[in-house]
A and B are shown apart, each in its own frame.
Chain A
């Protein structure tokens, strides 16, 4: 269950919308931020808040690249594999990161810190190659600097609250 304050915040957001379901992405984002991913319980809660069926929420949840309907690590690493990043890094960057983390693309590290996913153009093409860890963008990557970024993130995850 989400805390009462968050629930009220979301109810206000929904009431402010032209039609309730217009707020669907905001509601899913907020629930995901709370639970870490969009859990089954969160889908039910979102449906309640939006006045939709769970199936209708599912239709939306499964559509977006950055709504996670499966458990993910504390931070998701999205590595851009679109053309400008590919031109400079080829396919090797993602593989190097996967090798370093000891997981396959799509998996989560055993310590629960990271999930690794390829993603579409992050709109940083003039500063390629690019990845996003959580919401932080990292640009002009080499395999070395990418690993440094990741280890830096790991320290901040282990060191502090989420």
Chain B
């Protein structure tokens, strides 16, 4: 070997100038670069991101490719993008084994399209290559079954655990699977708590990168129980642009702040409407309230989803927009928001790693 032959160090040196814009560090010191193989003038390596839904995946790939191609003597570059989803677990308490991130989708008031966002968020993450599950924790108005196009009763698996149903590659559990669709659920708080416990700990979730929880609107039993039973990685607040909705969104946000569930950000749904006839953008409920509220409260604005009749018909037919029309503006907006959510979780995971360990990894048994 002569000295001007390519070395791994030379490759790592140029890759060390590639920054991850979310984690604000170079991808070499973040440990993203794996399996560097140099064969004559041919260089191949893997870039292992912290989430498959990384919003800057293509941009990073291109930058790695260009920079390594620029090293003298390099004739061919092969970059493979992979991902190992990190665990964001702010409470450090034992949560669900195998589940890396539990993300709640909440809203202060009903009718803002929370379930639609939860479903499409789950499917966007799934489409990026992540393993995803979905809990319909809207005990009183479960809508997942219809919107997701899954029906039936879950079966019991080993150790008396409930096996979730699967729709579009996502594992789902819903009150709708356990109750008659026409009969209302009339329950007091303790039963809601019991059900939330069942939907988390008693379901065979397996290995998941993201478990999305669709919460009922408001600040009640289900929200509180969910925040108590598991250590949630974060919550996204869905709102529409009107002031009324925003007031409630603020309340929801404050509740999760008190429960020390990190606020990943605010999503503005029904943000605008693109007329199918004239392609003109109409801001029916005004626009930008979500962004303003996010700025006011110092949380991230995750993006906006347009009002699109296809979202509604897709939902009613069990064909969510992300699956049904992946190229539509609403689906693209959902993917973008999902990328931001995943990026925020990666940032939280990065911030907590190397920091404090679990507060109480196991219950304390008092010794007398």
Co-assembled chains A and B: no
Q: Interface on A for B, CB 8 Å cutoff?
A: none
